[in-house]
Amino acid sequence: MVLQVKKACKNFGGLSALSDVSFSINQGEIFGLIGPNGAGKTTMFNLITSMFTPTSGEIIFNEDNINGLKPHLITKKGICRTFQNIRLFPQMTAEENVMVGEHCRSKSGVISSVFRTKSQRKEEDRIHSKANELLEFVGLGGYAEVVSDSLAYGQQRRLEIARALASSPQLLLLDEPAAGMNETETSELFHLIKKIQEQGITVLLIEHDMPLVMRLCDRIAVLNFGKKIAEGTPAEIQNNPDVIEAYLGSEEEDLYA
């Protein structure tokens, strides 16, 4: 068990954004978190990455309670995320953006960097090498020197994933990675996330593209108004009447084609 969320609640003043939400994620699986806008999905991501502290409940990662840890310590422990709105460094190259992602794993300090010690140079070479390997992995092998702001939208999405992978996560949180993508880009994203899973990395996915979610995820939890209303395999979720009514709509058309 990589992640356990136990009765997580998050209140903002008198508003309850999440109420008694529990689920667990197994090592190596792709777990989907779906629900209408405002259901509490991104709030849950913010609890897991310690952007917010739960009002009550527990977030357990690799059997450790991580409630209240500083976000950079969460990253060091092996959890990393992307964001709903792309947050690249626009005037840095693709390679530089990925290199930033490995900051939490670097060991060189200020003194060794100033004096360019042998160990610092060796580490810098390793970081450059890894950045280029990750760019190749996400399909951006020929774009290392391109300023990220000049990349196409789908390429920027993949670059953000490469930067997250640079931190060597055990658990990767993807917040609506297919948002704004066309059919070809979404297909490429599907194969990329499957490749990430093949590397042994566990994925937690927020996504509104239901055909993608149903093809990609091993299990899915559904939130509505801050509460979990269902959890199960894609087939179970597709046939759950509460999910159909609350999120997917009650129309008889095939929403998963």
Q: Which of 48, 58, 4 is nearest to 26 (CA)?
A: 4
More confident residue, 23 or 106: 23
Is residue 14 in a domain?
A: yes
In a domain, 86, yes or no: no
Q: What is residue 246's predicted lDDT score, i.e. its pLDDT?
A: 78
CATH of the domain at 183: 3.40.50.300
d(CA 142, CA 95): 10
What is the extent of the structural domain holding 179?
1-78+169-257
Q: Does position 8 have pLDDT exceeding 90, yes or no?
A: yes
Is the domain of 114 the same as that of 218? no
Domains held by the chain: number: 2
Q: Could you say which of 109, 138, 166 is where a domain stops?
A: 166
**Between β-strands 227-232 and 56-61, what pairing exists: parallel, antiparallel or unpaired?**
unpaired
Considering only 19-28, 93-102, 111-120, which range has the smallest mean pLDDT?
A: 111-120
pLDDT digits (tens, 9 = 90+) for 210-221: 999 999 999 999
Q: Is 83 inside any structural domain?
A: no
The one-letter amino acid at 186? T
Are residues 183 and 129 both part of a single domain? no
Q: Find, among 229, 202, 230, 207, the residue nearest to 218 by Cα.
A: 202
The answer to whether the beta carbons of residues 59 and 48 sit under 8 Å apart is yes
| Stated pTM of the model | 0.89
CA separation for the pair 159, 228 (Å, rounded): 32
Confidence of residue 252 (pLDDT cuts 50, 70, 90): very low
Q: In this model, does residue 124 exceed pLDDT 90?
A: no
Work out the mean pLDDT of the chain and round it to a whole number. 90
Q: What is the DSSP letter of 58?
A: E
Q: Which amino acid is located at 51 in the chain?
A: M
CA distances from 198 to 43, 137, 166, 191, 193 (A): 28, 12, 16, 10, 9
Q: Could you tell me if residue 85 is inside a domain?
A: no
**Same-domain check for residues 228 and 194:** yes
Q: 110, 133, 166: which is the final residue of a domain?
A: 166
Residues 188 and 73 in one domain: yes
Q: Which residue has the higher pLDDT, 217 or 121?
A: 217
Q: Which two tokens stand for residue 179?
A: 């948002």
pLDDT of residue 105: 53
Q: Name which residue leads in pLDDT, 86 or 20.
A: 20
228 in any annotated domain: yes
pLDDT of res. 257 = 47
Say whether both 176 and 256 belong to one domain.
Answer: yes
Cα 128 from Cα 131, distance rounded (Å) = 5
Q: CA geometry: angle at 134 spanning 124 and 210, to 5°?
A: 145
Q: What is the pLDDT of residues 136-185, one digit of tens each?
A: 999 999 999 999 999 999 999 999 999 999 999 999 999 999 999 999 99
